[in-house]
Chain A
Amino acid sequence: MIKTVGLTKTYGDLDAIRDVSFEVAKGKIVGFLGPNGAGKSTTMKILTGFLPATRGSATVAGFDVFDDPMEVKRRVGYLPETPPVYPDLTVHEYLRFVGKLKGLRGDKLASDIERVVNKLALAEVVDRLIRNISKGYQQRTGFAQALLGNPEVLILDEPTVGMDPRQIGEVRGVIKELAGEHTVLLSTHILSEVVATCERVVIINKGTIIADDSLDALATKHGGGRDQLEKIFLNLTEA
Chain B
Amino acid sequence: MRNTLAIAGKEIRVYFTTATSYVVLGSFALIIAYFFQALVGEFQRAIAQSLQMNASWMLEQLNLTDYVIYPLIMNIGVILIFFTPIITMRLLAEEKRAKTLELLMTAPVRPIEIVLGKYLAGLTMMLAMLGVTLLFPIVVEVLGASQTGSPLDWRSVGVGYFGAALLGAAFVAIGLFTSSLTDNPVIAALLGFLILLMFYIVGSGASGSEGLWKSLLEFLSLASNLTSFARGVLRVPSLVYYLSLSVFALFLTYRVVEAQRWR
Partner-B contacts on A (CB < 8 A):
45, 48-52, 69-70, 73-74, 76, 78, 80, 82, 84-89, 93, 97-98, 100-103, 105, 145
Q: Name 10 extra pairs, CB < 8 A, besides A51-B263, A89-B14.
A: A49-B261, A50-B106, A52-B262, A73-B106, A73-B108, A80-B99, A86-B100, A100-B6, A101-B3, A103-B2
Q: Which of B10, B103, B109, B263 contacts A80 (CB 8 A)?
A: B103
Q: Which of A45, A97, A145 has the most CB of B within 10 A?
A: A97
Closest B residue, CB atoms, query A69 = B261
Q: Which residues of A contact B104 (CB under 8 A)?
A: 101
Q: Which residues of B contact A70 (CB under 8 A)?
A: 108, 110
Instruction: Looking at the assembled complex, report how far the CB atom of B24 sits from the nearest CB atom of chain A, in whole angstroms.
Output: 15
Number of contacts between A and B (CB, 8 Å)?
73
Closest B residue, CB atoms, query A78 = B106
Closest B residue, CB atoms, query A75 = B108
Contact sample, A vs B, 23 pairs, CB 8 Å cutoff: A45-B102, A48-B106, A50-B102, A50-B106, A51-B263, A52-B263, A70-B108, A73-B107, A73-B108, A76-B106, A82-B98, A88-B17, A89-B14, A97-B6, A98-B103, A100-B2, A100-B3, A100-B6, A101-B3, A101-B7, A101-B104, A101-B108, A102-B108
A189, B18: Cα distance in complex, Å: 37
Instruction: Looking at the assembled complex, report how far the CB atom of B232 sits from the nearest CB atom of chain A, in whole angstroms.
Output: 41
Q: Judge whether B239 is part of the interface by a CB distance below 8 angstroms.
A: no
Q: Which of A50, A85, A87 has the most CB of B within 10 A?
A: A50
CB pair A86 B102 closer than 8 Å = no
Q: Which of A52, A101, A105 contacts B107 (CB 8 A)?
A: A101
CB pair A101 B105 closer than 8 Å = no
A49, B18: Cα distance in complex, Å: 32
CB pair B3 A84 closer than 8 Å = no
CB pair B107 A98 closer than 8 Å = yes
Instruction: Looking at the assembled complex, report how far the CB atom of B89 sits from the nearest CB atom of chain A, in whole angstroms.
Output: 15
CB pair B6 A101 closer than 8 Å = yes
Q: Which of A45, A51, A84, A88 contacts B18 (CB 8 A)?
A: A88
Q: Which of B10, B105, B107, B262 has the most CB of A within 10 A?
A: B107
A129, B2: Cα distance in complex, Å: 25
CB pair A93 B107 closer than 8 Å = no
Q: Which residues of A contact B2 (CB under 8 A)?
A: 100, 103, 105
Q: Which residues of A contact B107 (CB under 8 A)?
A: 73, 98, 101-102
Question: Interface range on chain B: under 10, 10 to 19, 20 to 34, or 35 or more?
Answer: 20 to 34
Instruction: Looking at the assembled complex, report how far the CB atom of A104 sits from the nearest CB atom of chain B, in whole angstroms.
Output: 10
Q: Which residues of B contact A48 (CB under 8 A)?
A: 106
Closest B residue, CB atoms, query A11 = B263
A122, B59: Cα distance in complex, Å: 70
CB pair B263 A89 closer than 8 Å = no
Closest A residue, CB atoms, query B102 = A80
Q: Which residues of B contact A84 (CB under 8 A)?
A: 98-100, 102-103
Q: Judge whether B260 is part of the interface by a CB distance below 8 angstroms.
A: yes
Instruction: Looking at the assembled complex, report how far the CB atom of A93 sits from the nearest CB atom of chain B, in whole angstroms.
Output: 7
Closest B residue, CB atoms, query A49 = B106
Q: Judge whether B13 is part of the interface by a CB distance below 8 angstroms.
A: yes
A80, B108: Cα distance in complex, Å: 16
A85, B104: Cα distance in complex, Å: 11
Q: Which residues of B contact A80 (CB under 8 A)?
A: 99, 102-103, 106
CB pair A86 B14 closer than 8 Å = yes
A103, B3: Cα distance in complex, Å: 8
Closest A residue, CB atoms, query B262 = A52
Instruction: Looking at the assembled complex, report how far the CB atom of B258 sits from the nearest CB atom of chain A, in whole angstroms.
Output: 11
Instruction: Looking at the assembled complex, report how far the CB atom of B114 sits from the nearest CB atom of chain A, in whole angstroms.
Output: 10
Q: Which residues of A contact B110 (CB under 8 A)?
A: 70
CB pair A49 B105 closer than 8 Å = yes
Q: Which of A76, A85, A101 has the most CB of B within 10 A?
A: A101
Closest A residue, CB atoms, query B2 = A100
Q: Per-position contact with A for B1-35: 1 when CB-CB < 8 Å, else 0?
A: 01100110110011001100000000000000000
Instruction: Looking at the assembled complex, report how far the CB atom of A51 sits from the nearest CB atom of chain B, in whole angstroms.
Output: 7
Instruction: Looking at the assembled complex, report how far the CB atom of B8 sits from the nearest CB atom of chain A, in whole angstroms.
Output: 11
Q: Which of B6, B18, B103 has the most CB of A within 10 A?
A: B103
